[in-house]
Amino acid sequence: MKKLRWGVLSTAKIGLEKVIPAMQKGHYCAIAGIASRSPERAQQAADRLGIGKAYGSYEALLADPDIDAIYNPLPNHLHVPLTVQALQAGKHVLCEKPIALNTAEAQTLVDAAAGYPQLKVMEAFMYRFHPQWQ
């Protein structure tokens, strides 16, 4: 099985300290890129974590054909817009919670995802896979 090539939208603390290191331990994950609104911060994060590509915009990461999926830990109000953009770019999405701020946003996301049945969108809600809840 080939590795899923992840792009990370943001240099947020949760990604840098928790999610990226965990993904880097996975047998089927490769962190292929990280994006920030600041090219310098993206490059610093890439250097720190051994990530091959740094992007100075989220759109540049989404446009990269070498990225299969994105992790979206952006501020809550950006979850739906950037997740929809990722779908439109042909990427799977793992989005931090809350995936949407209200039912209208959630419906927007459901409608967008319906147009891309080959892609997966998932909220990063750990209890779904926690042994306590299995």
Q: Across the chain, which distance is largest between two alpha carbons, in Å?
A: 42
Pick the CATH number of 4-133 from 3.40.50.720, 3.30.70.3280, 3.90.180.10, 3.40.50.460: 3.40.50.720
d(CA 12, CA 93): 17
- Spot the catalytic one: 2, 18, 91, 97: 97
97 given a catalytic annotation = yes
94-132 tens-digit pLDDT: 999 999 999 999 999 999 999 999 999 999 987 767 777
Exposure class string for 49-61: b at 16+ Cβ within 10 A, else e: bebebbbbebebb
Whole-structure pTM over 0.85, yes or no? yes
